[in-house]
Amino acid sequence: MIRSSILLFAALLLIVSSPLTVHAQGAEGDAAPTLVPPVLLEFVEAPYPESEAASEADVAVVLQLSIAATGEVVDVSVLESGGEAFDEAAMEAARGFVFEPATSGGEPIPVRIGYRYEFVWAPLLELKSTADFKGVVRDRATKAGIAGVTVALGSGQSTVTDEGGAFEILDLPPGLWTVELSGDGIIPVSTEEVFEVSHVVEVTYDASVPEESDGDEDEVEFEIVFTIPKVKKQVVSTEILADQGRRVPGTQGDVLKVVENLPGVARAAAGSGDLVVWGAAPQDTRVYVDGIRLPRLYHDGGYRSVIHSDLVHSVELIPGAYGPTYGRGLGGLVSVQLSRLDDEGFHGSADLNGIDGALSARTRLSDDLHFAIAARRSHLDEVVGRTSSYFTDEDVASYVPIPRFWDGQARLQYRLGAETFLEVGALASSDAIDHALPSSDPALSTSKTTSLDFYRVFARYEKRSDDGSVVSVVGSFGGDSSSRVERFGATPIELGKDSRIYGLRASWRAPVAVGLMAEIGVDAELETFSLYRSGSIGAPSREGDKTVFGRPPPNQIGSDRWDTLIGSAAPYAQLDIGLFDGRLHLIPGLRLEPFLAQTSRITPDNGTNPAISIVRQDLVVEPRLAARYEITPALGVKAAYGIYHQPPQSEDLSAVFGTPPLGVSKAQHLLLGGSYKLTDRLELEATGFLSTSEGLAVRSLSQSPALANALVQEGTGRSYGGQLLLRQDRLGPFFGWMSYSLVRSERKDQPDSAWRLFDYDQLHVFTAVASFDAGAGVEIGGRFRYSTGFPRTPVIGSYYDAVNDRYQPIFGEYGAERIPSFISADLRVSKRFDIDSTELEVYLDVQNVSNHRNPEEIVYDPSFTQQDYISGFPILPMLGARWSW
Amino acid sequence: MVALRKIGNILALAASGLLLTGCGVDFDDHLSLVEEARVLAIRSEPAEARPGAKISYHALVAQPAGAEAPAMSWAFCNERKPLAELGPVNLRCLEAKGENLEPLGEGVDAEGMIPRQACRNFGPAAPAATPDEPPGRPVDPDATGGYYQPVRIIAAGEPALGQTRIVCGLAGATAEQLGEFNRRYTANQNPALDRVSVLRPGEELPLKPGLEPDPANVVRAGQRLVLRASWPSCEEGPCPGAEPYVAFEVSSREVIDRRESIRVSWYATGGRFDQSGTGREADDRATFTENGWLAPKTPGLVRLWTVIRDDRGGVGWLDFLIRVE
């Protein structure tokens, strides 16, 4: 079948020369008026006449167009015929042209011009289920093509650039593929492109090739000059590639720490490592690594993530309104993608700094088998222990809470086919903190020991077929073990939790029609818990408690031991409907999730009553809808809505400290936004959002709560605000972004109570990150952060507790004061040295270079008559080195 | 140790070993300095009583020499506190009047009868049942297994809180455990200080209690002293020292043998103590505790109080008049 050809662009014969006639008004005086030809503003494509399709000929028709002073085409005639059918088609199209009128002396004038309209025959492009990839690799300085560069795709296809630097790869399976450029004398670099069915991705990669005698360590640097806009998997998300993330100041080279700098994320209290996204509680934001849920993203203290950066391909933060692939969380989502193991040879790195040391290695065991392993261990406690003798005689390490942690990952990836992989792997992490503050007063003696260990073992199968479909199955199991043993005077606090977690995530995604991508899957998770808790019900404190830092917990103690099972298997489906040539994407989704929660005791153990378990089932339907519309290639708008549910925390299902029959909590996310590309690589994105939640577990406010009913699901919440992100992708030596979030987060503890500020409310958060490659292997980066302080409840008085010989605070309005704002500027300088075929990077990461005193918490004297602040980091330099090969 | 606590406070927040420069807070600990009339302790006699039992109270009100004794009013508070209240009592207990406040009188001393509903309001008995409602939640015991009836004082307009340990039985114990507990448990007795002495090399010089000047109670201006507070050794209860007792431990659900810990609080109208409180843990069998005191630099009379507390709510004290020369 033959399709009408496209024009060939207008050969604008124009102007005053013959055979054109220009009716120009003469200008007064001797000076000839300045004549400006008309400019075609709107071109109309003429269809290739079906009656002439058999000719398969390229035909031209020369027209004469009469253009009014308004720019409108008022008359069309044929100067040179191409045949009747072609003439009619060309004339019909030309009548629809719109011009910017010709001018004489600045005044619009009517003109007649000649216009060559060409018809080029081409066979009808078949609707393909694949994509094509074309481009050129050029020398950035001379713009000349570079021959012999290998362009390899993650799909397994590859080609080599021709003499002009051009390349072409056809019939790619759609999806997100890595693009690797390599060649003689070139340091391999990679990027990613998104390929859609029936679309051609055209790119230009510019490479700067230094002069041979330069001796610069940076032999070749590639820069992606232009790529088509990437199809985002989520309406609002920020994805950072690993190579970029580790260069961000303040991360000390840890890719995943970049999440703290992304829009929508509140600045966590120093050392907490909490992730507060769009005003949601930290436990409401879920962390996944290749679809496997982890209990935390950061080690204690927030210094390091739990995954070695060398194994990370990218990290994506989705603050809300995500699709049906994920659930079980009221807040945001952090999704870490592990890198594909396809290295040739043996690669790895060794990293050493004041906090920890880390090693990683990746190697090819055979053509189809790759292996990677990484591990990290902290030595901060030893560093502090050894250096503390210089400033104190005391053994600081035994008194202060210095985090001790390690983590390790191992992966074995086997290529079953060109695009079929099987991977097995394991992740493990361990954290512990001990400290004690002895006192000559038994009531003031405190000690605390916390630990959290977890592991995951997983198997992942992925197959990409030629028809563009992708099948992915990830099964995992693992265990979490956490412990908190605390003593404040005579009041003990003990909380132990052991859990086993089983996960299965399977999906099938494929283009089912032109512009229509479908995905169905199931996301199942089952977690069994064995918990023990003893001590004060007031410790640890809950969100909404009126308390102050350092306040002893209530001295009434209880004890409970219980088992809990929480699970769900959620089938989901999602369509990605591309309309108007893919400019509009409608992404409806649906997730159906039957929750099951079983708790071993519905009433406290009084020594005689039997343990009666309770089973609760909640079936929830979660519609999700997202839409993106590309108004112009530079301007897009978006909107999304979704319903989310979260099962209760296992700690809250105690018959003594909580309420065993607690059900699921619910949230709704709504967002609207848009993005505008100021340049090819500079984009401004704005998003407004509203998140509401209900059924939140809060403490019972009753003076006589029912037995086993310490918590009630009467809490509601709302967060609303907006965020701006101005992001400059790497442009030559520079990349960076600025983000600003304006978020208000509030809670109600009872339906009829007034809204109060959420403990994690942080109204303003501004972050600016920039990195500059100064050449010669030197990179300089800076980060500036400003954020509003968290709200706190002021103490407005006190009374004397003669039994415990201490003053007790009397509180004012909840959340009526704030910790002062946080301001910090950080700097990172690194220098890379090439040593044979390896690279040594020495870096200095300086936090709070201005040594600004940042209050982190409000504290009171024992009688609550004086108030002051505990400050965070002073200027904090951290020197480290990373050797990679 | 102060430096370590300061660092610890910072690092408890930051969980960091790197904050080794001064970023913390160093409040002036002035709790030991009595500059105006203050309630320092509230003693109930007996120290532990059943609901319905007669009880008497005495408040230790410290005040600088020459100051007038403040007006005081007493009341039982019968209002339970919600679980969301992390303080020791419902804040309504601190009000001057209220539906659940049971007045006990005015002055330094008061008498009354432990409310009969005390074990239901503040003990292991479930709150009064409401029709069509599930049974209520009993109050948890403290670490010693005790429950307490709040008593409120308002002295010079400022509220203060006392509590009396009440005998209520056990929650969650078997009949055998309850029997053993009742057979072996001895009600708490208020502790008492044997003496407070000044330690000098090779000798211990007791101060003479009371408000009369005494040659034994003379120190030099600006002199630094080490004071020792001693209490009786106690092998079995009841006794005025660190008593042994049995308790039903909620975590192990067993009747276990324990011993009281002892705290001593130090107060004076002048000078400066090293610590506002010292003491001995339960597993420490020593019968004394020591504290440093820097006498005022100007001569004059200084009142000094030492208050001894056991962890079952018992209280005792001694007061002294020190001449600074």
Q: Do B24 and A870 touch (CB under 8 A)?
A: yes
Q: How many CB atoms lie within 10 A of CB A98?
A: 16
Q: Dump strand ranges (E) for A69-220.
A: 73-80, 98-100, 102-104, 107-109, 111-119, 122-123, 131-139, 150-153, 158-160, 166-172, 175-183, 186-195, 200-208
Check residue A825 and give its pLDDT: 93
pLDDT band at A274 (very low <50, low <70, confident <90, very high): confident
More confident residue, B305 or B96: B305
Q: Do A809 and B87 touch (CB under 8 A)?
A: yes
Complex ipTM over 0.90: yes
Phi first, then psi: give them for residue B134, nearest 5 degrees. Answer: -70, 165
Residues in B touching A866 (Cβ below 8 Å): 27-28
- Which residue from B10, B94, B113, B1 is spatially nearest to B56, judged by alpha carbons? B113
Residues 610-639 of A with CB under 8 A from B: none
Total count of residues recorded for chain A? 885
Q: Dump strand ranges (E) for A290-385.
A: 292-294, 312-318, 333-338, 346-353, 356-364, 369-378
Residues A618-630 have pLDDT tens digits of 999 999 999 999 8
Distance CA A379, CA A351 (A): 13
Residues A616-668 have pLDDT tens digits of 999 999 999 999 998 988 899 999 999 999 999 999 999 999 999 999 999 99
Residues in A touching B91 (Cβ below 8 Å): 810
Give B230's Cβ-side CA count (13 Å radius): 13
Q: Do A400 and B163 touch (CB under 8 A)?
A: no
Task: Assign B182 to helix, strand or coil.
Answer: helix
Q: Do B82 and A700 touch (CB under 8 A)?
A: yes
Best mutation target among A795, A799, A876 (most B Cβ atoms within 10 Å) is A799
User: Any CB–CB contact under 8 A between A142 and chain B?
Assistant: no
Residue identified by tokens 């290739």 is A48
Distance CA A403, CA A414 (A): 37
**The pTM is what?**
0.79
Residues 403-432 of A with CB under 8 A from B: 403
Residues B142-172 have pLDDT tens digits of 999 999 999 999 998 899 999 999 999 888 8
Residues 538-567 of A with CB under 8 A from B: 538, 541, 544-547, 549-551, 553-559
Residues A578-593 have pLDDT tens digits of 888 788 999 999 999 9
Identify the bridge partners of residue A96 per DSSP, sorted by sequence position. none
Q: Do B41 and A869 touch (CB under 8 A)?
A: no
Both tokens assigned to A755: 């809204």
Residues 828-847 of A with CB under 8 A from B: none
Check residue A2 and give its pLDDT: 35
Q: Do A394 and B5 touch (CB under 8 A)?
A: no
pLDDT band at A197 (very low <50, low <70, confident <90, very high): low
Check residue A328 and give its pLDDT: 94
Q: By the 8 A CB rule, do A503 and A474 touch?
A: yes
Nearest-CA distance A173 → chain B (Å): 48
Distance CA A588, CA A576 (A): 7
List the single residue in A805, A862, A870 with the smallest CB-CB distance to B309. Answer: A805
Q: Do B18 and A710 touch (CB under 8 A)?
A: no
Mean pLDDT (chain A) is 85
Check residue B67 and give its pLDDT: 72
pLDDT band at A390 (very low <50, low <70, confident <90, very high): low
Nearest chain B alpha carbon to A858: B25
Residues in B touching A531 (Cβ below 8 Å): none
Best mutation target among B13, B95, B293 (most A Cβ atoms within 10 Å) is B13
Q: How many CB atoms lie within 10 A of CB A66?
A: 16
User: Any CB–CB contact under 8 A between A857 and chain B?
Assistant: yes
Nearest-CA distance B215 → chain A (Å): 30
List the single residue in B14, B275, B311 with the smallest CB-CB distance to A490. Answer: B311
Check residue A529 and give its pLDDT: 97
Q: Kind and range of the H or E element at A756?
A: strand A756-757
Residues A39-78 have pLDDT tens digits of 888 888 888 888 887 777 888 899 989 988 888 898 998 8
Residues 305-344 of A with CB under 8 A from B: none
Q: Dump strand ranges (E) for A758-821.
A: 764-775, 778-787, 791-792, 795-801, 806-811, 817-818
Lowest-confidence pick of A122-126, A475-479, A814-818: A122-126
Residues 6+ apart with CB under 8 A from B229: B193, B195, B196, B264, B278, B288, B289, B290, B291, B306, B308
Nearest-CA distance A264 → chain B (Å): 23
Q: By the 8 A CB rule, do A663 and A688 touch?
A: no
